[in-house]
Homo-oligomer: A and B are copies of this chain.
Amino acid sequence: MHLIHSEKCGVRRAMMLIGSKWKMVLIGCLKDGMQRYGELKRSIPDISEKMLIQELKDLVEAGLVEKTSYPEVPPRVEYRLTEKGQKAIPVWEMVERFGCDYL
């Protein structure tokens, strides 16, 4: 059976990892380098705190984003794409180009 239709299919796996609107927007935010939690929150005004925390947690667990916390007051938390996460940038670029074709 052609790989496309089984769990081994790259598309299914990729969509499980990055196939949500917010994850793709976050990859766009992080593609140019490290961002602090507050910066991410301000740059995506319409995402809820709960959703942002969950999507970042998923991306960290998937090994696409690295989270660094500094024991400071107030706490400083930084996010950056891992090497694996960098591989999602071409997907982001292609999705952005496709989306722009629609505006």
Contacts and interface: CB of A to CB of B under 8 A. Distances in A.
A10 B34 CA distance: 22
Interface residues of A, number: 40
A100 interface: yes
B45 A28 contact: no
A4 B102 CA distance: 15
**What's the number of copies of this chain in the assembled complex?**
2
Interface in A1-53: 2, 4-5, 8-21, 24-25, 28-29, 43-45
A43 B5 contact: yes
Given A4-B28, A19-B19, A90 B100 contact: no
Interface of A: 2, 4-5, 8-21, 24-25, 28-29, 43-45, 84, 87-88, 90-92, 94-103
